[in-house]
Amino acid sequence: MAITDDVLVIGGGLAGATAALAAADAAEDARIRLVTYKQSTLRHASGLIDVLGYAPGGVSDGENGQEQGQNQNQTPVADPFTALESLPESHPYQRVGVDAVREALAFFDEIAGDAYAGSHTEMNALVPTHGGTVKPTARYPVSTAEGLASDDRDTLLVGFETLPDFDAPLAAAHLEAAGAPFDARGVTLSFPGIVRDDAKVTRYAHLLDHNERVETLTGKTGAREALAATVEPHLDGESRVGFPAVLGDDHPAAVRETLSDALGADTFEVPMGPPSLPGLRLEDLLYDALESAGVRVTSGVPVVDYETAVADSTADEPATAAIDHVVVDRNGAEIPHEADQYVLATGGLVGKGVESNRERVTEGIFDCYVPHATDRYDWFVDDVFGEQPYARFGVVPDEDLRPLDADGNLEFSNLRAAGSVLGGYDYAAEKSGAGVSLATGYVAGTRAGEGCQ
């Protein structure tokens, strides 16, 4: 017996979760299901919601009209929405339109509530990262808000001996070299209660969440108080203190409040590489929203096959193949899942949603067309920092985000694609990955929800 739903979303990242939530919002009584093979990639992400941080070559930065490109002066985009209007036609943002990007961000704001900041302006914020660079972003966790690079307050960055991924003195030096409008200084200290350098970031968070008692030179005390006492002697007039993003998972606001009160300085988190607590918090936020919206989530089940039927033709569209059902592998048992509408949000080359071999590049589940050069040596350029063709590999959608074949015809009448499985953009160079996932997930999910009514 097939499991039947109205909308089936394949993929559990930001694009897939957004698509499922948007479908549930567009079709209130519909049965929406999300299936995902692996853990969400959100735990590897910074938790920042970028729209467009750097304009691709030949596109105005939207602020002063100068042309910015990957191999040119990398000035961050100040106004991403102005820059979106000048992107190439093949870019996913052009497919959905600027208004849809704004609607998707507003949709995210409703889901995120007070966990994220940045909705007060359309200008990008500059958030310092663990390498001492700044990332242009449209929405950012409130845990990072006090650390914006546009703020001119002097800053102390604190790193920990057992957490080598964040070199606070080096990050501070990079910020000053980059022209940050404040004095930055970094120190590396021991973290109370942790002596091993292989402790997971969740261990740091757990100590602070529960304010576990830890051993100090003066006896046992709460982890929050012990951390504040460790940092306080190193303050030299700074009015804000930045920590690696380990300040609690379940109760991060309470942890920051305790530290701020004890230090007499505002505290903030610096986004880290994977595994990322801000990414885990975003994952929790989205999956809590999915549960509240009544979306059924099935994880650990790869889609291994599918069957098609012929859709009815209309005056506007000729007869096109439609997906009748997909088959998922649940612990070795093949289970059919059928739906009226499907959303593909399986990721790009990194997420294995787009696959390649020596002969060709293709989408991994439905074999959707992915444009690429015939000669695989044309898939890349020798300059490692150059504009790599493979970075733009992905399916080509119409304006409703339905994948097209090599002749420009619909692959399937009831399939839409969202996120990095889409081609035509370089999310790593542009710093646009989360924004594209949000915008295309929102549009694909909304259209799928409307299509099943």
Tens-place pLDDT, residues 134-163: 999 999 999 999 999 999 999 999 999 999
CA distance 405 to 7: 23
CA distance 23 to 17: 10
Assigned domain for 156 exists: yes
Domain containing residue 214: 124-273
Q: 315 and 357 share a domain?
A: yes
Determine the 3-state secondary structure of 243 from DSSP.
strand
What domain count does the chain have? 2
Q: 34 and 167 share a domain?
A: no
Rounded mean pLDDT, 210-229: 92
Chain segment 343-392, per-residue pLDDT in tens: 999 998 877 889 888 888 999 999 999 998 887 877 888 877 778 878 88
Assigned domain for 16 exists: yes
CA distance 453 to 450: 6
Q: At what angle do helices 277-292 and 98-112 cross, to 10 degrees?
A: 90
Which of 273, 289, 313 is the endpoint of a domain?
273
Rounded mean pLDDT, 69-74: 45
Q: 227 and 325 share a domain?
A: no
Residue 39 has pLDDT above 80, yes or no: no
CA distance 91 to 453: 29
Assigned domain for 145 exists: yes
Q: 223 and 261 share a domain?
A: yes
Assigned domain for 208 exists: yes
Q: 210 and 321 share a domain?
A: no
Residue 251 has pLDDT above 90, yes or no: yes
CA distance 62 to 77: 7
CA distance 36 to 19: 13
Q: 133 and 261 share a domain?
A: yes
Which of 254, 273, 292 is the endpoint of a domain?
273
Assigned domain for 237 exists: yes
pLDDT band at 307 (very low <50, low <70, confident <90, very high): very high
Say what the pLDDT of residue 61 is: 45
Chain segment 404-424, per-residue pLDDT in tens: 999 999 999 999 999 999 999
Residue 311 has pLDDT above 80, yes or no: no
pLDDT over 70, % of the chain: 94
Tokens 């507003």, residue located: 106
Say what the pLDDT of residue 71 is: 36
Q: 0.75 exceeded by the pTM?
A: yes
Residue 118 has pLDDT above 70, yes or no: yes
pLDDT over 90, % of the chain: 72
Determine the 3-state secondary structure of 51 from DSSP.
coil
The mean pLDDT of the chain is 90
Backbone angles phi, psi at 238, to 5 degrees: -70, 140
Residue 297 has pLDDT above 70, yes or no: yes
101 is written with which tokens?
Answer: 């990007």
Assigned domain for 323 exists: yes
Residue 283 has pLDDT above 50, yes or no: yes
Closest CA to 345 of 12, 81, 74, 73: 12
Closest CA to 354 of 8, 11, 7: 11
Do 56 and 69 contact (CB within 8 A), yes or no? yes
Q: Where are the alpha helices (DSSP H) in 117-183?
A: 168-177
Chain segment 19-35, per-residue pLDDT in tens: 999 999 999 899 999 99
Say what the pLDDT of residue 246 is: 96
Say what the pLDDT of residue 185 is: 96
Q: 131 and 241 share a domain?
A: yes
Assigned domain for 441 exists: yes
- Alpha carbon dihedral 16, 21, 23, 29, in 10-degree steps, equals 140
Q: 365 and 412 share a domain?
A: yes
**DSSP structural state of residue 76:** P
Say what the pLDDT of residue 60 is: 44
Kindly tell me the number of DSSP H helices and DSSP E strands found in the chain: 11, 21
Better-predicted residue by pLDDT, 60 or 82: 82
Q: 33 and 176 share a domain?
A: no
Q: What is the CATH number of the domain that holds 383?
A: 3.50.50.60
CA distance 139 to 114: 11
Q: Buried b vs exposed e over 345-382: b needs ≥16 C-beta within 10 Å?
A: bbbbbebebbebeeeebbbbbbebbbbbeeeeeeeeee
Assigned domain for 110 exists: no
Measured at the CA of 285, the angle between CA 394 and CA 157, to 5 degrees, comes to 90
- Alpha carbon dihedral 183, 246, 15, 1, in 10-degree steps, equals 180
Say what the pLDDT of residue 316 is: 62
Rounded mean pLDDT, 53-72: 52
